[in-house]
Structure 1
Amino acid sequence: MIQAYVNIFIIFSLMFLGYFLSFKQWFSNRSADVFSKILLNLSLPFSMFLNITANFNKSEFLSLFSGMIIPLVSMTITYLTSLAYRSLMNVEQTRRGTFTTMFTCSNTIFIGLPINLAVFGEKAVPYVLLYYIVNTSIFWTIGIYEIAKDNSQLHETTMTFHPLVALKKIFSPALIGFMIGLAWMFTGVKVPSFLQQFGNYLAELTTPLSMFTIGIMVYFNGIKNLKLNRDIVGVLLGRYLLSPLIVWLLGFIFPVSSLMLAVFMVQSAMPVQNSVPILARAYKADQEFAASSLGYSVLIYLLYIPLLLKIIYAL
């Protein structure tokens, strides 16, 4: 367990390095965009491809999908709870959809994947992807619709939403890389050494680029500009208390392996999605609320994750 904490500290050190290098003007907002493109379109697809071809066979993989019911049910319950919470706590009308999206959906790739790799190793990656599929599907359908509703001129914002856009986000390069790896695994053909080595170099960029991107975003959002309020506290309760609690309880109803349940709990208790402030700005929702929620969720996570892991190891 101590080694897991050390690994997490190393990962967050990369985030702080990204923050510091932004302060030193080595990185700009444009750097975060470039890193994100490299991560999402190159390093993650190769990471998914190589992991599934190296660590699983047909029978092992087919046993995975029985566990997808847990993230699906847990996120549905969390979403419904967010609707009740925002009504009871009188969340402002101009941020209710953004609140619900942040309350329900987590950062499963930029922070989720590096953390799970650090704590559980390569065997956790398929479980990470299962949660990612459900999380991303909900985020780019229900989530984006909720954010759009925060604009009082709803008829204008809904016109910009198209199912093909959501479908493109769901079937991301990372998921496509996973699907290609899956098809390759079923053939039983060994991955050529050249492709293996080339892919490994790109896959190894995943963690540093992810954490650099988070560090850059935190810096340019500005720590001094973060404003804590009751609604942000509600988002944090959804992210760090309710979501993992629901996953844990569902583990009694839908039996899965201890590793799968642990990964799902960690994935469910991730900071706010990076894309929310960008989408809030695009749909003329409450961008300041979204940016502050993202900033606080990332900063608090460094203190929160050791506590969560201690609870998981004790279960």
Structure 2
Amino acid sequence: MSTAQPRTNQPVMLQVRLFLALSRTPHGIIDLATPVLAAMMCLGGFPPARVLWLGILTAFAGYTSVYALNDLVDYRTDRKRFEKNLLSGGPDDLDSIFLRHPIASGDLSPGKALVWTIFWGLAALAGALALNPFCVVIFLAACLLETVYCLAWQKSCLKVFVSGAVKTAGPVAAIYAVDPRPSYHFLVLLFFWLFFWEVGGQNVPNDWADVEEDREIHASTFPVLYGPAFTANVVLISLGLTVCLGVMTVIHSRLPYTLAVAAASVAAGVWHLLLPAFRLYARRDRDAALELFNRSSYYPAAMLVIVIVGSLV
């Protein structure tokens, strides 16, 4: 069996693109909206400038490291996709803007990827320690859960719920960075709000888009195991809960004008989540799944804009 070998003597800018592809940096930058959103909802406005910028840098380091960790742990599995010519990513996939799985493709060596992952992981740990030592615990737990998620690819479709917990780590850490003793009621609401967004708007649609290649390598996902009808219901229920929990989280936050912000959050949820989810339910194809994945990726950013406007009025 042939295996991809890392390519050497690549131009510097190509090397940079490979590292950015490894960490899915375009998606990671969009994800930065989520911890900022959580912090602002917790405080009712902008955090102090030092906390805000340190938090953004720490979140960037954390997302960069965890996304890279995903490819590191998964690269042998992803290599099977290359060997069978199964990869379906393209310009319409937010996670494939640069290149999909650069380690598995042989464009980036595992050693370089490991150094990159450790560097950004240490940067995230340093920032988390400066913000609140408990944030270190949250980051390490996220890394552990991400590893569990990757290792469970053939074992259980319930790994999607592990992914939901990983995606909430950033915003939960952001809350503890600005308030060492947050309202647990608000914390629980925010956790499940973003948890169901990740399940219905990110993980399951992404698995749906990859269903043909996942079936070939015997991956355990909802689309592979239960088919489009059941999976479409999982998506709709999860995103319906997301919109409802978004309203409840806004109302229990410290934001001014909570009713107006809650109404705007419903509009954002309809546009970014429910409309593409109903389109996926009707069409049940890869293009509709990718449309939902891409549009839902911007849902936290849309919510952040709403919260900023509500805070400044």
Q: TM-score, normalised by structure 1?
A: 0.28
**Structure richer in helix, relative to its length:** 1
Greater length-normalized contact order (CA 8 Å, ≥ 6 residues apart):
1
